[in-house]
Chains A and B, each alone.
Chain A
Amino acid sequence: MAVEVMTVEVAEATAKGLVAIGAGLAVGLTGLATSIAQFSIGAAAVGATAENKDMFGLGLLFTVLPETIVIFGLVVALLLLF
């Protein structure tokens, strides 16, 4: 049935919508992945910093490492959208 009403405009709109969903998934899923990764690293980093303040720099460094994943997601989303 859907095939019968599918005009060019509808197809274009659908494609646009799917692109937007794809972009959303790219950011959302990579965001989840990053947060899962940062969750345990962050906890450990705070613990290490509490033990020894000099660990702060290194702890921060380790904590932000997984951020690369979500940045990739964001880049993909931006490329999809624009």
Chain B
Amino acid sequence: MFKVQTMSRLLIAASKDQLDTIVRELYRHNLFHIEDFVESDEEEYEGYKIGMPLPGAGEVSSDLIRIRSIESSFGVSAGEVEISVRSGTAELTRKIESEFPLIEKEAMALIEEKNSLENTVREYGAKLAELKPFAGYTGNLEDLKGFEFFRVFAGHVSAEVGFNVPNESFYTTVNKKQFLIAVVPLENAGEAEHSLLDAGFQAVAIPDETGTAHARIEWYTQEIARLNNEIEAVKGRILAQKEKHAAFLVACDELLTAEVERKEAPLRFATTEETFVAEGWVPVEKKGALISDITSATGGKVYITELEYDPVNDVVPIEYNNPDFSKPTEALMDIYSRPQYSEFDPTLLVAIVFPIFFGFILGDVGYGLILLALSIYLRKMLKGEAGQKLLDVLRNASVSSIIFGVIFSEFLGFALPWDPIGINRHLNIGGHAASGHGPDVVLMLILSAWIGIVHLTLGRFLHMYNAMKRHHPGKHRTQAVMGQAGWILTMWGILFALWSFFALPIMPDLTGFPALVAGLNIFGILGAVMIIIGVVSIAQENVLELLELPTIISHVLSYARLAAVGLSSVAIAMVVNYMAIESLIQPQLESFSVVGIVFILLGIVVFLAGHILNTALGILGGGLHSIRLHYVEFFTKFYQGGGKKYQPFGKKRKFTED
């Protein structure tokens, strides 16, 4: 919580004959994040070389490629396959030897058949296109070829051709363009070509066919239809094969992928003639089990030691360490950036505050229920891990939206049968206008400013906490901490100064005190002093930071979006209700008529379309603005990010077991 998983850096050294055993054990545990070995000329690395893959890596890889090629031609993907029983490794290995060649042969034959059919269809299609222009010509096509003393021209022309040589021509219209077949004596061919060129002649090859064009076209069309049917049949057989073998294929894939990864692991280790050294990271609480298992598997013929590391400057792989509640929010963190090893992990904070912001913006029982149903439904449909996490975030947010909806007394823009508690967001639209008293806009704006002030102050304190952890005691640390204190002092100084001049709702009223100096009362002076000390503190860390001073105000005001975006969503909902119900449906219900039914139906359409639109806007508005307040306003105060993801060597097995 608030801190990523603590890691241990392990060094495993053993003789090469233990390599296979150790790699197997590491893979099975799925815990060891391997630090890739890089060859270097430095003295301490002398004699170490990148290892060679274990024997048999090549064969397994080529088997895997064969399996993947069948998978891709069948269109099998591991994400789609659900299995009831996992395959045993030994049996699977035997099956790969005995059954897979048969499956492969069958699949290849089917694919081959399908490809050849498709090629024929394509060929026939081309011939058909060639024949098309000749459709109007009723003679036999073979009669246009094989002349000794004549030349035949066929092609498109833009106008009728004025031949000044003896000729026999035939015109027809194809695709709104004139098509010409002309026969000219060979000795006049040159002149005829000139005339044709003038008429914009584009030659078309005469098809190599016998019989009339019409008959041939008919034949090809029928053939293509027949072949297409055959292709469908083959596709059906491929699909049947896919259904039959999908589970087997994905299991083989998993088994062989694991095998290949294991066999290639030494490529990431440092090796000498007789030994190898593997370096990597393990979560600290799982270290013991891993070490003892490796030791017992090798019969003690291994040397494992824990290395020292610098948590600030060394690149430690990052694994989140969150309670179940905030696990989904890790997806939101990953979109921005993983935390660094030594810094505060704000995931839990985001997990709590994000839904509150979302609910404050989209506080409506109706929309909340819609989004809740949507997130639960999509959660069942979607398979990807990141998508599921985001949907869980949406689920939490929509629960918060329902709670705020109860407080705001809102259901799809209608009022619930009780008055809003504390804050009224009902606008004076339609029927509501009569009830008078509009929304508490000023109250909401100031409340959101308060939220901003607290959130940003917290962010600055977290920066101090990070600085305390990152820097050793000394000048650097003091500067950083003082700088952050300066920002807090300046912000609150501005607040005190404001309060001493203006009485604002839900803020302390400090105006009633006598003025001491230059019209400032005691709190005004306090505020001014705080601002001065604050600015000096900021400047001592870095003078350029003073350029950022206006962000104190703009970032706090940015939280006004909590009120503003929420009100706009209420406004859209109420306008939709006003249009659909008060203007379209209600008057028709009062004086019923046949035409009225059309209006009522129209009203229902407006109601549905309006609320669907507003739900979509609600997700965008509520979600994006809430997360933006975190990313831009909150995180820029303390969060660095850029941590490297923890990717343990191994794989969660889905389809196979030992």
Chain A residues packing against B (C-beta within 8 Å): 54, 56-58, 60-61, 64-65, 67-68, 71-72, 74-75, 78-79, 81-82
Contact = CB atoms under 8 A, between A and B. Distances in A.
B558 A68 contact: yes
B567 interface: yes
B450 to A, nearest CB: 15
B564 interface: yes
21 contacts: A57-B335, A57-B337, A58-B336, A60-B631, A61-B336, A64-B624, A64-B631, A65-B632, A67-B561, A67-B628, A68-B557, A68-B558, A71-B558, A71-B561, A71-B564, A74-B561, A78-B445, A78-B563, A78-B567, A82-B438, A82-B439
A81 B624 CA distance: 26
**What 10 pairs between A and B have smallest CB-CB spacing?**
A57-B336, A82-B441, A74-B564, A71-B561, A57-B335, A75-B560, A64-B628, A78-B441, A61-B631, A68-B558
A82 B442 contact: yes
A58 B438 CA distance: 39
Contacts of A72: 557, 560
Contacts of B445: 75, 78-79
A23 to B, nearest CB: 12
Interface string B426-439: 00000000000011
A78 B336 CA distance: 32
Contact of A71 (B335, B439, B442, B560): B560
Given A64-B632, A65-B632, A79 B564 contact: no
Nearest to B441: A82
Contacts of B557: 68, 71-72, 75
A68 B558 CA distance: 6
B554 interface: yes
A71 B631 CA distance: 17
Contacts of B337: 54, 57-58
A38 B643 CA distance: 29
A44 to B, nearest CB: 17
Interface string B331-351: 000011100000000000000
Contact of A68 (B336, B442, B554, B567): B554
A60 B567 CA distance: 24
A79 to B, nearest CB: 7
Given A68-B554, A68-B558, A71-B557, A79 B442 contact: yes
Which range contains the number of B residues in contact with the other chain?
Answer: 20 to 34
A66 to B, nearest CB: 11
Contacts of B335: 56-57, 60
Contacts of A68: 554, 557-558
Nearest to B555: A68
B221 interface: no
A74 B439 contact: no
Given A71-B564, A79-B441, 16 more contacts: A56-B335, A61-B628, A61-B631, A64-B628, A68-B554, A71-B557, A71-B558, A71-B561, A74-B561, A74-B564, A75-B564, A78-B445, A78-B564, A81-B441, A82-B439, A82-B442
Contacts of A81: 441
A15 to B, nearest CB: 18
Contacts of A56: 335
Contacts of B561: 67, 71, 74
Contact of B632 (A54, A61, A74, A75): A61
B479 interface: no
Interface string B414-458: 000000000000000000000000110110010000000000000
A74 B439 CA distance: 15
A35 to B, nearest CB: 15
Contacts of A82: 438-439, 441-442
B568 interface: yes
A56 B554 CA distance: 24
Interface string B308-336: 00000000000000000000000000011
Contacts of A60: 335, 628, 631
B575 to A, nearest CB: 15
Contacts of A61: 336, 628, 631-632
Interface in B554-599: 554, 557-558, 560-561, 563-564, 567-568
Given A61-B632, A65-B632, A74 B568 contact: yes
A45 to B, nearest CB: 13
Contacts of A67: 561, 628
Interface string B452-485: 0000000000000000000000000000000000
A60 B557 CA distance: 20
Of A72, A74, A75, most B-chain CB atoms within 10 Å: A75
A56 B564 CA distance: 26
A38 B632 CA distance: 15
Nearest to A57: B336
A32 B438 CA distance: 28
A74 B621 CA distance: 14
Nearest to B560: A75
A57 B563 CA distance: 25
A64 B625 CA distance: 9
A50 to B, nearest CB: 16
A57 B333 CA distance: 9
A57 B561 CA distance: 20
Contacts of B442: 79, 82
A54 B334 CA distance: 9
Contacts of B631: 57, 60-61, 64
A60 B335 CA distance: 9
Of A60, A64, A72, A78, most B-chain CB atoms within 10 Å: A78
Contacts of B567: 78
Contacts of B568: 74
A82 B561 CA distance: 16
A78 B181 CA distance: 77
Contacts of B560: 71-72, 74-75
A61 B554 CA distance: 16
A58 B632 CA distance: 10
B564 to A, nearest CB: 4
Interface string B630-647: 011000000000000000
